[in-house]
A and B are shown apart, each in its own frame.
Chain A
């Protein structure tokens, strides 16, 4: 009996050594090659490439100026208006006594929604930008031309990111002024908010690159990325407090999933910085492990682009561009 168990264990170990380890080594090598070698070898080139890609993207976006204006200025307003109407209705009917949950009250709900809209805009722009760009570039064959040049694919994430950040800048300034007029905050709080926005944007762009890769390599699966994005949006609580998510099981599963979502953590940090005492929440608890949400956000934002580039590189090599 004992011999049999030992033998099974040995077989498992042997399997791990023979089958699993070489595969793990190969994945590690590929990752090293795809991610680390390029950017570490030449930082200046990476920075130049990011700016070059950003410049090109801005020029492409400005080709049709009216569409650009509507997309970046009007769409966010359209997104926020229904929520403002619903919240106003609720507070008017209850004479301001209705408790939605979290920090939302009849005094600050517009600002609460504006912060949510900022985040939602950054998230949506980051997540969707690669999909539309890749599908266009796939048929123009320019994506191939770009990758024929000796660039690191990380520059693609940040290049597109910089161009998108520039594109939404007018909207950002306009609503930033409105938000600061509604509830002025100190410069240190503004800096924390900008940092968190940057982190959320990096995560969104990385997710966007993965979704974009799916569209590029297998256009059939494009809708799946849309469903995934809708799921993340739901669990990011852009327009409602987390406490509004119903308690379904004793583990409070919906709220727990939302807390695992780094985008929600970013939204939560900015809201507590804006409405609270100026410091991000000290810790969140995943299971039994307490983690500082800002550290969690920074860690995810650091790993996400690397994973996205790795996935893109791998799919590029295995599948090549399909669909034309």
Chain B
């Protein structure tokens, strides 16, 4: 079988009550609304492939992850894991949703032991110690989880997801709250394991490091799906400039926003990051900048993040049209 994870035309609609700041009206005249969190999503992951799921907040990443592991039932469409329905493949899936899904009132060891036994891990004691050693949480293993730091909780949540050595890992922001060294170590380990991974993340470097393929999701739809290299080609001809301005930065921002040749702008106080469509447009920008007090100007290679921003912005424009 080619694909280990397959989602076919998956749609998920949530029905909920719209809340306003008028509690009286909410109670007596409730307004029911439905929200399409996933809209006809189809995608597949090959065996031993790592796929990154990127998207803005509220785009449907976690909903998709929850549908794939069977925590949510799709309103329409089918999901197959190893060619079988999700409920028959639970042993093959390991899920980590941030740093949740652990009992705060139990020790780390008790948590891992509980889940190891539920998954039928035979030598659970050695497996727990092996994972604790890898994640560097050995000395906290017999402490209550409520005393753990955010990073230690994340490590424990990851250890819980991997306790039964699953074939497929669904990781929703697995390195949230971890220090850079640990993040790198975890990335290295995920890569080394050679498992089939769906990785939801906001860290572009993580996606670039780990993923064979990246799917960008927005408004419940997959708007782009390709290898990181191919996605980067979208912005290959673009020029990325870092500027440092002194003086009226707001005026510059407004003027830049009016220019058609400016693809995207990100600002942080007096620092600007500008992406231009083509090198030919550089002259126009330099002409514009003569009116301002430019302290520093650097050019850099377009990154995956630039490609992501461009794809998302293009989709935004399409939606507005």
Contact = CB atoms under 8 A, between A and B. Distances in A.
B103 A49 contact: no
Nearest to A143: B101
Contacts of A45: 120
Interface stretch (A7-15, A104-112, A145-153): A145-153
A149 B104 contact: no
Interface residues of B, number: 26
Given A45-B120, A320-B72, A148 B90 contact: yes
A310 to B, nearest CB: 15
A145 B110 contact: no
B91 interface: yes
B101 A142 contact: yes
A320 B101 contact: no
Interface in B66-85: 69-73
B93 interface: yes
A56 interface: yes
Given A142-B101, A150-B91, A317-B73, A59 B106 contact: yes
A144 B62 CA distance: 14
Contact of B118 (A59, A149, A317): A149
A52 interface: yes
B102 A60 contact: no
Contact of B100 (A60, A63, A140, A148): A140
B101 to A, nearest CB: 4
Contacts of B106: 56, 59-60, 63
Contacts of A32: none
Nearest to A150: B90
Contacts of A151: 118
Contacts of A97: none
Interface in B83-113: 90-91, 93, 95, 97, 100-106, 110
Contacts of B261: none
A252 interface: no
Contacts of A23: none
A132 interface: no
Nearest to A139: B100
B110 A148 contact: no
Contacts of A55: 114
Interface in A127-176: 140-142, 144-151
Interface string A53-84: 00110011001000000000000000000000
Contact of B114 (A52, A140, A318): A52
Contacts of B120: 45, 48
A198 to B, nearest CB: 25
Interface centre among A48, A147, A318 (most CB of B within 10 A): A147
B148 interface: no
A233 B144 CA distance: 38
Contact of A142 (B73, B93, B103, B119): B103
A317 B117 CA distance: 25
A145 B73 CA distance: 16
A45 B160 CA distance: 20
Given A52-B117, A145-B115, A59 B110 contact: yes
Contacts of A144: 71, 97, 101
Contacts of B97: 141, 144
A150 B101 CA distance: 16
B118 A49 contact: yes
A60 B115 CA distance: 15
Contact of A149 (B72, B73, B119, B144): B119
A148 B95 contact: yes
Given A49-B118, A63-B105, A141 B69 contact: no
Contacts of B160: 145
Contact of A147 (B71, B102, B104, B144): B71
Contact of A141 (B90, B101, B118): B101
B296 to A, nearest CB: 46
Interface of A: 45, 48-49, 52, 55-56, 59-60, 63, 140-142, 144-151, 317-318, 320
15 contacts: A45-B120, A49-B117, A52-B117, A52-B118, A56-B106, A60-B106, A63-B106, A142-B101, A142-B102, A146-B118, A148-B70, A148-B90, A148-B93, A150-B118, A320-B71
Interface of B: 69-73, 90-91, 93, 95, 97, 100-106, 110, 114-115, 117-120, 144, 160
